[in-house]
Structure 1
Amino acid sequence: MNSLVRKFNAIFGADMAGPVIAFIAVMLIFGTFADNFLSLATFGSVAFQLPELGLLTLAMLLPLLTGGINLSVTFAANLSGLAAAWVLQAHGGVDAPPSAFLFACLAALATGGAAGAMTGAAIAYTRAHPILVTLSMMIFLRGLGEFLTRGGDVSGFPAYMAPLGHGTLFGLPIPLLIFIVCVGLWHVLLTRTKLGFGLLMIGSNIEAARYSGLNTRKIQVLVYTLSGLMCAVAGIIMLARFNSVRVGHGESYLLITVLAAFLGGINPFGGFGRVLPVFVALIVLQLLSSGLNLLGANQHLATALWGVLMIVVMAARGLFSSYFASLRKKV
Structure 2
Amino acid sequence: MSNHASKRRGTDSSYDDLSFSIKRWLSSDGNLTRLFVIMVLVFVTMAILSPRTFLSLDSFSSMAFQFPVLGILSLAMMLSMISGGIDLSIVGIANLTSILAAMVMVRLIPEGASAGTSLLYIAVGIVCAMIVGILCGLLNGFAVAKIGIPPILVTLGSMQMFMGLAIVITKGQAIVGLPEQFSAIGNGSVVGIPMPLIIFILCIGAAYLLLNRRPFGMKLQLLGSNPTASRYGGIRNTTVLLKTYALSGLLASIAGLVMIALTNSAKADYGTSYILQAILVVVLGGVNPNGGFGKIAGVVMAVLTLQFLSSGLNALHVGNFFKDFIWGIVLILVMVINVVSPRMKWKRKPAG
Q: How does 1:1-331 map to 2 (within 5 A)?
A: 9-14=23-28, 15-36=31-52, 37-92=54-109, 95=113, 97-325=118-346
Superposition deviation, residue 85 in structure 1: 1.2
1:46–1:283 contact (8 Å) kept in structure 2: no
Q: Distance in 1 between matches of 2:334 and 2:110?
A: 45
Q: Distance in 1 between matches of 2:110 and 2:258?
A: 17
DSSP 3-state at the match of 1:53: helix
Q: Distance in 2 between matches of 1:329 and 1:23?
A: 32
TM-score normalised by L of structure 2: 0.88
Superposition deviation, residue 153 in structure 1: 1.2
DSSP 3-state at the match of 1:59: helix
Instruction: Summarize the Cα distance change of 1:38–1:330 in structure 2 as closer, same or farther, 3 Å threshold.
Output: farther
Superposition deviation, residue 88 in structure 1: 1.2
Q: Distance in 2 between matches of 1:20 and 1:59?
A: 22
Q: Distance in 2 between matches of 1:61 and 1:203?
A: 12
Q: Distance in 2 between matches of 1:267 and 1:102?
A: 37
Q: Distance in 1 between matches of 2:110 and 2:24?
A: 54
Superposition deviation, residue 44 in structure 1: 1.6
More displaced 10-residue stretch of structure 1: 148-157 or 105-114: 148-157
What is the letter of the counterpart of residue 43 of structure 2?
Answer: M
Q: Distance in 2 between matches of 1:24 and 1:330?
A: 36
Superposition deviation, residue 306 in structure 1: 0.4
Deviations 1:288-329 (A, max 9, x none): 000001111121111100000001111222233234445666
1:35–1:294 contact (8 Å) kept in structure 2: no
Q: Distance in 1 between matches of 2:220 and 2:346?
A: 25
Q: Percent identity?
A: 34
Superposition deviation, residue 9 in structure 1: 4.5
2:285–2:298 contact (8 Å) kept in structure 1: yes
Report the aligned-residue RMSD.
Answer: 1.9
DSSP 3-state at the match of 1:267: coil
For structure 2, the 5+ residue unaligned runs are 1-18
Instruction: Summarize the Cα distance change of 1:292–1:82 in structure 2 as closer, same or farther, 3 Å threshold.
Output: same
Q: Distance in 2 between matches of 1:317 and 1:6?
A: 24
More displaced 10-residue stretch of structure 1: 236-245 or 35-44: 35-44
Instruction: Summarize the Cα distance change of 1:150–1:24 in structure 2 as closer, same or farther, 3 Å threshold.
Output: same
Q: Distance in 2 between matches of 1:91 and 1:117?
A: 28
More displaced 10-residue stretch of structure 1: 39-48 or 232-241: 39-48
Q: Distance in 1 between matches of 2:23 and 2:145?
A: 35
Q: Distance in 1 between matches of 2:38 and 2:206?
A: 25
1:56–1:230 contact (8 Å) kept in structure 2: yes
1:93–1:158 contact (8 Å) kept in structure 2: no
Q: Distance in 2 between matches of 1:16 and 1:103?
A: 40
1:109–1:232 contact (8 Å) kept in structure 2: yes
DSSP 3-state at the match of 1:213: coil
More displaced 10-residue stretch of structure 1: 150-159 or 226-235: 150-159
What is the letter of the counterpart of residue 73 of structure 1?
Answer: I
Superposition deviation, residue 263 in structure 1: 0.7
Q: Distance in 2 between matches of 1:264 and 1:79?
A: 28
Deviations 1:63-116 (A, max 9, x none): 000110000000100011011112113422674611111111110001100000
2:172–2:268 contact (8 Å) kept in structure 1: yes
Radius of gyration: which is bigger? Answer: 2
